[in-house]
Amino acid sequence: MAFNSSLAPFIPRTNRHLLNAGSSGTGGVIYFFVDEGGNTGLNLFDPNQRTLYYGVLTSDVDLDIAALPKVEEMRRKLGVTRIHAKDLGNEKLLLIAPAVLNLQRKLGLRFDFYMVRKADHAIMCFFDQVFDSGMNQAVRWSNYWSPMRYALLLTLATLFDEELAKAAWEARIEGNDAKAEELLVAVCGELLSRLDEIQNPQARERIADALKWAVKNPDAISYNASNSHLPKKEKKSVAHQISPNIIGFQFVMKGIANRLAAGKVEASRIVVDQQSEFNKAQQTLAELFAAAADIKFPSIGEMPTLNFDSMPSTPIEFRSGDDSAGLELVDVLLWVHRRLDEEKPLARELLPLIQFNLSRGMKDEISLAGIESRWAPLLARPANLHELAPEVLAAARIQAERETARIAAAVAAPGTRVV
């Protein structure tokens, strides 16, 4: 599996809420326990699971050893063999909340919380593939490899409703090439019919050019992740590479690398909750990141540089939640944070578990709202054209005119699709 580098521009350059990397100090070790919630696999439109969540609990000690006696006390108090927050709910979690908070304080635990908004992910995947200037001849280089991509993406997203986003995603994971192209053409056609909703004439024109060219040349877009040339048993595993689970796991690995770099420590263990569907892809991704740790990737245009510094080489351990005290604690903290995010009833007595973490944890998301919050301030700044030399402006105008002519010719040219 290859790193989904085309989605990298959507991933934050830094994790904005890292305020305390821990107390290990230089040369120490650190332990990570990872769990996920809201997993619906490749079904992004389950009305009850609209977000994929990852929780990462960081500790300076091995929680499977250091926290086990206290976790066993909690189990006995609850009368269960394993602590699973979903089954316990608010009322029963109140019985162990003080003990969990005590462990957070005593062991200096840090909890990181990541989210992938699934419907947004479907739209972002569409943009990333159809508006790739390396595949779509009617897309300007600057509209894909500069921050202008975010303005264009956010404008395009206003044309989508849930049904159209669902259709775009179905085409993306369709294993039959011909059917995927047919679905893609239908989505592009519907978007073209909605262009009047875009007020900005330049954005409307550039989106129209890209969509018209894609309709004529759907085979050049390579839209579906899983294609007809693959053996049947491999098609689903390939499609998993663009699932929210794996895109979110990139967040997890980057967050772990940030903590290792900030604390100048090494990862002693990385324990991930065992589940059959995505563990293999997670392991492959982690191995790929570890191999890329010492490689310097040049930045393209004004986009964030891909940076794999401090990626751990420690192999991932996949453990059952029934066999890991650390994973049981992650499960509790993930449930509480998720409950708050989903605006579902949450007992007031559970809030201290979140409050303790406010200055210590990282929180971020892959979503249209997240992109807007990160990039809107930059995009809103007026261009300082008066600061450019006249000859630079003249050259830029000539280049823009050539680009406009090139795209007009590409849009007008007959495509490869047989109508």
5 pLDDT higher than 60: no
Q: In degrees rounded to 5, what are phi and psi of residue 136?
A: -100, 110
376: its two tokens: 């809107």
> In what side-by-side order are the strands of the sheet with 363-366?
316-319, 266-273, 29-37, 51-59, 110-117, 363-366
* Residue 6's pLDDT band (cuts 50, 70, 90): very low
The total number of structural domains that make up the chain = 1
For position 18, what pLDDT does the model report? 42
Residues 126-165: tens digit of each pLDDT? 999 999 999 999 999 989 988 889 999 999 999 999 999 9
Mean pLDDT of 195-207: 96
Chain position carrying tokens 């011909």: 178
| Beta-sheet strands, E only, within 110-237 | 110-117
CA distance 284 to 301: 29
Radius of gyration of the chain (CA): 24
Strand partners, 366: 116
Residues ≥6 apart with Cβ < 8 Å to 223:
129, 130, 171, 172, 180, 181, 184
Q: What local confidence, expressed as pLDDT, does residue 302 receive?
A: 62
Does the pLDDT of residue 306 top 60, yes or no?
Answer: yes
Residues 317-333 have a mean pLDDT of 95
Give the C-alpha distances (Å, rounded to integers) separating 288 from 52, 72, 292, 316: 22, 37, 6, 12
Residue 120 reports pLDDT greater than 50:
yes
| Residue 391 confidence (pLDDT) | 76
| The pLDDT value given to residue 21 | 41
The contacts of residue 199 (CB under 8 Å, 6+ apart) are none
pLDDT number for residue 381: 72
What are the structure tokens assigned to 89, written together? 């709910």
Q: 3-state class of 267 per DSSP? A: strand
Domain of residue 274, residue span: 1-419
402 vs 13, more confident = 402
What's the pLDDT tens digit per position in 260-289?
998 888 889 999 999 888 898 899 999 999
Q: What is the DSSP letter of 315?
A: P
Amino acid (1-letter code) at residue 402: R
Residues 6+ apart with CB under 8 A from 394: none
Q: Give the residue-averaged pLDDT of 213-222.
A: 96
Q: Report the range out of 157-166, 368-377, 396-405 with the highest average pLDDT.
A: 157-166
- Over residues 374-381, the mean pLDDT reads 79
Residue 22 reports pLDDT greater than 50: no
DSSP 321: G
| Average pLDDT score over residue span 380-407 | 76
Convert the pLDDT of each residue in 31-55 to its tens digit.
999 999 999 999 999 999 999 999 9
Average pLDDT, the chain: 88
Name the nearest CA neighbour of 70 among 31, 96, 91, 42: 96
CB 272 within 8 A of CB 252: no
Least confident window among 9-23, 200-214, 225-239, 327-341: 9-23
Q: Whole-angstrom Cα distance, residue 241 to residue 4? A: 8
The arithmetic mean of pLDDT across residues 195-223, rounded, is 96
Q: What percent of the chain has pLDDT over 90?
A: 69
The pLDDT confidence band at residue 236, using thresholds 50, 70 and 90, is low
Is pLDDT of 12 > 60? no
Residue 191, both tokens: 């978007």
How far apart are alpha carbons 88 and 3 in whole angstroms?
37
The terminus-to-terminus CA distance of the chain in angstroms comes to 35
Token pair in block for residue 393? 């402006």
Q: Which range is least confidently modeled, 78-82, 290-294, 304-308, 327-331?
A: 304-308
Q: Which band of pLDDT confidence, cut at 50, 70 and 90, is reported for residue 380?
A: confident
* Phi, then psi, of 270 in degrees rounded to 5: -130, 105
Residues in the chain: 419
Which is higher by pLDDT, 170 or 231?
A: 170
Looking at residues 170-178, what average pLDDT do you find?
A: 92
**What tokens appear for 312 in the block?**
């751990």
User: What's the rounded mean pLDDT across residues 70-77?
Assistant: 97
7 DSSP 8-state letter? G
pLDDT at position 24 over 70: no
